[in-house]
Amino acid sequence: MATGTLKIRRRLSVEEYCEGIIKGNRRTLSKALTLAESQKQEDRQLFQEVLQKVMPYTGKSLRIGITGLPGAGKSTLIENAGTMLIGQGHQVAVLAVDPSSAVTGGSILGDKTRMSQLSSMPQAFIRPSPSGHSLGGIAAKTRESILLCEAAGFDIIIVETVGIGQTGAEVYNMTDIFLLMLLTGAGDELQAVKKGISELADIIVINKADGNNEEKAQQMKKSLEQIFDQTNKHGNKNILLHSSLKSNRTEHLLDAISNMQKHKMRSGQFLQKRKTQNLDWMHAEINKLLIQDFYESNIYQSASENYEKQVIEGSCPPALAAKKLLEVYRKGINNF
Ligand code: GDP
């Protein structure tokens, strides 16, 4: 007869979390990332203490962002490039930012089965997008995940996302080098140019430049170069043809990333971008906390009904009601 064992999950202490993470223990790292994703107040508190303690071990990786529509070939590239980087002695973490996970509660990205070779390597770590958060929430968690992975010794962090809109911009804001992956014939280039995401990209990768597609890819490269020359927004942008069927193309892309990193370090852009990102992150947190404070306050709870009624009846303009509510809130805090 099988005997059931009762597993009692003990909460790790701050010290246990930190020690495990710094030693590169994958289980502890996974637990810490789960803690980071928790919305519970006590978990947040514990997590912030852990994060503060491991901060001296963070910041030493190259953070690479990669965005593109589903099917562009991102995970194939990450699988191949990640394996090559590990061959060179690196440790590679792959994190996903997937806004659809907020809706579905699951994640289509970062799924280990998509990068089977890479995920079986001890020097790699693949984490799907946190679910149950808004895009802003997912982005904040991903930023924290980057720091934890760095503290655990990963020196290359790849942040992958789907789409060429707002999510791409979020990933640009948390990485050092940002790659935009496009395909020929998908109308991608026009979309990307329209949405401005191509301006943010350090490297535009025209993927699947193989077989019958090779010539079209060459043409697309030329037309993109012309667009950037005309608008004078070329910057130091690289536009590269890539095919995961040709390993030398992936090596070439990795060289381009490495050269871009060196260039940014020499020019000071690398550190400047990180400083700006940290300050932006702090301000985004302030905004979030202020809004939370306001809506959760007793003052708002008791005063809002009256103002809402006036707005619905049309006896008070919404902007004036908002102003008055904030005045009541401020007065209440000052009297506290
Ligand atoms: P993702 O959704 O962007 O992660 O795309 P995947 O990496 O899953 O690739 C989608 C499909 O395109 C898969 O069937 C891949 O085998 C195929 N694929 C990926 N890269 C290339 C490439 O460079 N050339 C060709 N011909 N097919 C590719």
Q: How many CB atoms lie within 10 A of CB 282?
A: 10
What is the residue-averaged pLDDT of the chain? 88
Instruction: Considering only residues 98 and 164, tell me which one the structure prediction assigns the higher pLDDT.
Output: 98
| Mean pLDDT in residue range 256-282 | 95
Q: Please report which helix (H) or strand (E) contains residue 325, including its range.
A: helix 318-335
Nearest protein Cα to ligand 1, atom 25 = 208
**E strands, the chain, in order:** 62-68, 92-97, 124-127, 156-162, 177-182, 203-206, 238-241
Q: What is the pLDDT of residue 336?
A: 64
pLDDT at 6 over 70: no
Least confident range of 93-102, 150-159, 217-226, 289-298: 93-102
SS3 5: coil
Banded pLDDT at 128 (limits 50, 70, 90): confident
Reply yes or no on whether the pLDDT at 105 is more than 60: no
Spatial separation of the C-alpha atoms in residues 48 and 285, rounded to whole Å: 13
CA distances from 60 to 56, 153, 155, 280 (A): 10, 9, 6, 20
Q: Where does the pLDDT of residue 69 fall: very low under 50, low under 70, confident under 90, or very high at 90 and above?
A: confident
Looking at the predicted structure, is the pLDDT value of residue 116 above 90?
A: no
Task: Say what the pLDDT of residue 151 is.
Answer: 98
Q: How far is the CA of 127 from the centre of ligand 1 (A)?
A: 20
pTM over 0.85: yes
Distance from CA of residue 204 to its chain's centroid?
A: 18
What does the chain come to in residues?
A: 336
Supply the DSSP symbol for 12.
P
Residue 197 has pLDDT above 80, yes or no: yes
CB half-sphere exposure, 120, CA atoms < 13 A:
4
Higher pLDDT, 228 or 213: 213
Residues 207/77, Cβ–Cβ less than 8 Å: yes
Q: How confident is the model at residue 113 (pLDDT cuts 50, 70, 90)?
A: low
Task: Check whether 132 has a pLDDT greater than 80.
Answer: no
What pLDDT is recorded for position 246? 92
Q: Which atom of ligand 1 sits closest to the CA of residue 181?
A: 3
Ligand 1 centroid distance, CA of 207 (Å): 9
Name which residue sits closest to atom 9 of ligand 1, judged by CA: 73
Q: What is the pLDDT of residue 195?
A: 67
Give the integer Cα–Cα distance in Å for 216 and 289. Answer: 49
Distance from the CA of 250 to the center of ligand 1, in angstroms?
13
Token reading at 158: 């790849």
Beta partners for residue 66, in sequence order: 160, 179
Q: What percent of the chain has pLDDT over 70?
A: 88
CA 221 to CA 184: how far, in whole Å?
A: 9
Give the pLDDT confidence score for residue 91 in this predicted structure. Answer: 98
Looking up tokens 């303690």, which residue turns up? 53
> Which residues does a 6 A CB cutoff place in the pocket of ligand 1?
68, 70-76, 207-208, 210, 243-245
Of 74, 75, 76, best ligand 1 pocket probe by most atoms within 8 Å of the beta carbon: 76
Distance 179 CA to ligand 1 centre (A): 16
Average pLDDT on 256-272 reads 95
User: To test the ligand 1 pocket, which listed residue (244, 245, 251) has its Cβ within 8 A of the most ligand atoms?
Assistant: 244
pLDDT given for residue 45 in this prediction: 93
- CA–centroid distance, 278 to ligand 1, in Å, is 34
What's the rounded Cα separation, in Å, for the pair 198 and 215? 21
How far, in whole angstroms, is CA 155 from its chain's centroid? 16
**What ligand 1 atom has the least distance to the C-alpha of 109?**
4
Ligand 1 centroid – CA 262 distance (Å) = 29
Q: Distance, CA 294 to ligand 1 centroid (Å)?
A: 47
pLDDT at 2: 52
Residue nearest to atom 6 of ligand 1 (CA): 73
CA-closest residue to ligand 1 atom 26? 208
Question: Which pLDDT value is given to residue 305?
Answer: 92
Please give the structure tokens belonging to residue 31: 């637990």
Nearest to 153 by CA among 274, 21, 278, 48: 21
Helix-strand-coil split of the chain, %, nearest 5: 60, 10, 30
Are 177 and 256 in contact by the 8 Å Cβ rule? The answer is no
Where residue 9 falls among pLDDT bands split at 50, 70, 90?
Answer: low
Which residues are within 8 A (CB) of 6 and not within 5 positions of it... i.e. 6 or more apart?
Answer: none
For residue 243, the CA-to-ligand 1 centroid distance in Å is 9
Q: With b meaning 16 or more CB within 10 Å and e meaning fewer, what string describes 196-223?
A: ebbbbbbbbbbbbbeeebeeebeebbee
pLDDT of residue 250: 96
Predicted confidence at residue 139, as pLDDT, reads: 85
Tokens 């401005």 belong to residue: 196
d(CA 209, CA 223): 15
Q: What pLDDT does residue 189 have? A: 65
Does 316 have pLDDT greater than 90? yes
Q: What is the pLDDT of residue 75?
A: 92
For the chain, the farthest-separated pair of C-alpha atoms sits apart, in whole angstroms, at 77
Q: Say if residues 55 and 22 touch (Cβ distance below 8 Å).
A: no
> Would you state the pLDDT for residue 253?
97
